[in-house]
Amino acid sequence: MIRIYNTLKGEKEDFIPQKNNEVRMYVCGPTVYDLSHIGHARSAVAFDGIYRYLKYRGYKVIYVRNYTDVDDKIIKKANEQGASPKEIADRYIKAFDEDMDALGVSLPDFRPKVTETMDEIIRFVQTLIDKGYAYVVDGDVYYSVRKFEKYGALSKKNIEELEAGARVEVDERKKDPLDFALWKASKENEPWWESPWGKGRPGWHIECSAMNRRLLGDTLDIHGGGKDLIFPHHENEMAQSEAATGKPFVRYWMHNGFVNINQEKMSKSLGNILTIKDALKNYSAEAIRLFLLSSHYRSPIDYSPDVLHDAETSLDRFYTTKERMEKEWPEIVKKKADKNEKGRLLQPFIDAMDDDFNTAFAVGHIFQELHKANRLMDEAGETGNSSALIPYLPALYELFKEAGSVLGVFNKPLEDYFDAKKKYIKISEDEIKRLINERNNARRSKNWARADEIRAELEDKGIILEDRSDGTIWKVKR
């Protein structure tokens, strides 16, 4: 049984979707006015892992992630650059999609845009007016927060203590300072659409309610996003949707933690925004993804060169072990995995993912088994007795495949992985082999000083040596 931490309830609950074998899942996507940053990657990779695991467990998942392509920030940038809002939005949608593809993030089933959902948005706003939850002022439409008795339930905020702020515009025309805009009357140099209240465009929160209802119905199984969206965005979504339909909006609210940069909160004011594209210039996409999955999705994580270096090193350890399995024990690895042994190795992975998608424990389990595999292969090489590797290695190989398909890492062909790393070295492969041979001769003649010099020389050129029972191998240092 999968258990999910539900933000609304503040605790883990058994996951029971509306339909036995179907999950309706919506995750808030980017506002496309600039390049996406590592915080966007955190959310996308976290919910991609959740999406993949639900499918692995046999659910049919209808997955929606939107683009906010009409927004104050988009309009501002368009005016600054002498472009249309559509040109700005299209540019950064393309950039976001490129980033997601690089990180191995699965395409959702639907990727709606605000500009393509305008009819549904207008109908949704009219429904709220008709039901007495919204009112019109000079072409603007506001949601009357105090008419929704459950307001504050998701964010655990007391409505009496709330103040206007954080994307809630202060406007003396509003009946209450906490009321928020559903529709904004058009202003000069802004895009607009015709509506019953005049020309205008939607407020931020209403778009997701309309998209959700059109694509997934009145009640979602899972609604996700970053913790920064709990209030006001998701609180307002819940208020709008439940007022309009009279039904529960979301069964399980899920929110991922923040990304800090070198132990500081990532923010434009601090000048420490790290775009996905910049991160990909210095580190492999797989290392970035492994770093993001190595912490529980609800926990904050700290991004730094050191932790990315550690992720690269961990990937090396994985692929080097996999290569060793294939090269040293090919006949064993090719055997069909024993069902019981495979189940024994796979169960801790499943237990971790069933427990609120704990990818940190899942990744940790894989590396524990890697350590064990290397130890058993060392012992088999020294003793000539490979019985301990049967049926372990075939089952471990199956764990790699199944866990890798869920996590989106550990699944590159060995040749592709090692070829990609060669671009970082500063020396030819022939020269590496020559120096390794020279070092081996130095070691045989007990010229330890020269052997150490060669090791240091290669490391300076980006090559790390590893001495094994079957000889010396080299790999690229990152």
Nearest-angstrom CA–CA distance, 2 and 282: 36
Q: Tally helices (H) and strands (E) across the chain.
A: 16, 15
Give residue 164's pLDDT. Answer: 44
Residues of the chain where predicted confidence (pLDDT) is lower than 70: 163-171, 269, 424, 477-478
pTM of the full predicted structure?
0.90
pLDDT of residue 407: 98
Q: Note the helical H segments in 103-175.
A: 118-130
pLDDT of residue 413: 94
According to the model, what pLDDT value does residue 162 have?
Answer: 78
CA distance 50 to 459: 39
Residue whose C-alpha is closest to residue 311's, from 420, 426, 412, 409: 409
pLDDT of residue 427: 84
Task: Express each pLDDT in 236-271 by its tens digit.
Answer: 999 999 999 999 999 999 999 999 998 887 877 677
pLDDT of residue 161: 77
Q: Is 242 exposed, middle or buried (0-12, 13-18, 19+ CB in 10 A)?
A: buried
- Tokens 């490391």 correspond to what residue? 459
